Amino acid sequence: MIKVGVNGYGTIGKRVADAVALQDDMKLVGIAKMGMDYKTRIAASKGIPVFSAGDAKGFGGSGVSLAGTLEDMVKQCDIVVDCTPEGVGAQNKSLYEKAGCRAIFQGGEPHSLTSLSFNAYSNYASAIGAKFARVVSCNTTGLARTILPLQKDLGIASVRAFIVRRAADPSETRSGPINAIEPEREVPSHHGEDVRTVIPDLDIETAAAKVPTTLMHMHYVTVRFAEEGSDRDAVLEAWGRRNRIIMFSGKEGVTSTAQVMDYARDLGRPRGDLYEIAVWDDMKVEEMELSYFQAVHQEADVVPENIDAIRAMCGVETDADKSIAKTDKSLGIRAKKED
C-alpha cells in the first residue's frame, strides 16, 4: 500500500486527493494547507487528515483539528503529490529531499526542477523508481494524448497547434482577461517545448491566446504525416485504442465546450470532470495532413497522470497499460470495448 500525501488542496490537489482515495493500492495520508478556507473545511468533513503547511495559527478557531505539520505528513508518506501554486513546489523540493520522500510536481514548475516530465502514454517506463517527477501541464497533457498515438501508429513529420486558453478556473475571480482576447506574445509559445519533454525530437510549434471563458482550453492542431497513406479511418483507429481520448460530433449537438462539459456532468462524474481529451470528429485529412479541434478540461485531465506517476515512481506497477487501465477504471473512464 503506497502512502500518499497531497500538499495543496486547490483545483488539482483536491481532485488528486479524491483519486488517491479511490485506489486499492494507495492510502491517502492527508492533505497540507497553508490556512483555513472552505476547501480545508470540506476536506476535514470528508475525514481527510489536515496538516498545516504554514503557521498553525491560521487554523485557530476553525474547529478543524490539525494532524500535524507538513513536515509530519511528509515523514509518514512514501510519496507526496505537490499541488501548490507555481513556484512554491520548487521551494518545497528540499523538504522532500531531506525526508527521503519521493515527490511529484505539477506543470507550473519547470522541467529542470526534476529533469523528468511525465505523461503516462508517452514515457511511463522512464518514471519507474524515480525520486522526483513533474506531471506536465493540462495543455501539454492534451497535446501529448492525441499526438502520441498518431506518432506511434502512423508517423509524424511535424505538428503545428494554436491554443485558445481559458482565462481562469471557474472558482477564480481575480484572473483575466474579462472583455478581451490576450495573445501570448512569445511566438512560438512554450507549450511545444513542453511537449518535447515527453515526446523528444518532435517537430512541434505552438501559439496561444487567452479568452474570457472558464470552461476549457481549445486546441486547433495540424499534423503533417511522415508518409502517404494515412486517412480518417487510420486516425480514428489510432485514437480509438486509447481510453483517455473521447470523440464528439457536431452532428449530435456538441458544437462547443459548453456541451462537452454538459456531457461530463451527465456522466455523473464528481465535479463534472472530464479526464479525457475531447476531440471533434469533424476533422480534415488531406494530402498527408490532418487538422482537428480538441478541448481540454484543465481542472481534470492531469489527475489520472498523477495517479499513474505514483505507481511508476513507487515501483508497484511496471506495466504502463496495466496502471492506466487500473486508474481509468477507478475514475470511471470507460474502456473503448465497453462503448
Tell me if 189 sits within 8 A of 206, measured CB to CB.
yes
pLDDT of the residue at 339: 45
> 94: which 3 cell numbers?
528540499
Question: According to CATH, where is 3.30.360.10 located in the chain?
Answer: 138-296
Tell me if 202 sits within 8 A of 147, measured CB to CB.
yes
- Ordered DSSP codes for 39-59: HHHHHHHTT--EEESS-GGGG
Backbone angles phi, psi at 151, to 5 degrees: -65, -45
pLDDT of the residue at 337: 53
Residue that wins the pLDDT comparison between 287 and 127: 127
Superfamily designation of domain 138-296: Dihydrodipicolinate Reductase; domain 2 (3.30.360.10)
pTM of model > 0.75? yes
At residue 336 the predicted structure's pLDDT band, cuts being 50, 70 and 90, is low
77, 83, 101, 138: which is the annotated catalytic residue?
Answer: 138
Question: According to CATH, where is 3.40.50.720 located in the chain?
Answer: 2-136+302-338
Q: How far is CA 199 from CA 44, 144, 240, 257, 323, in A?
A: 40, 7, 20, 27, 20
- What is 2-136+302-338's CATH topology? Rossmann fold (3.40.50)
Q: How far apart are CA 159 and CA 141, in angstroms?
A: 15
Answer yes or no: 138 catalytic.
yes
- List, for residues 205-249, the tens digit of each pLDDT value: 999 999 999 999 999 999 999 999 999 999 999 999 999 999 999
Amino acid identity, position 117: S
At residue 328 the predicted structure's pLDDT band, cuts being 50, 70 and 90, is very high
Pinpoint the alpha helices (H) of 163-231. 190-195
pLDDT of the residue at 106: 98
pLDDT above 50 for 44 = yes
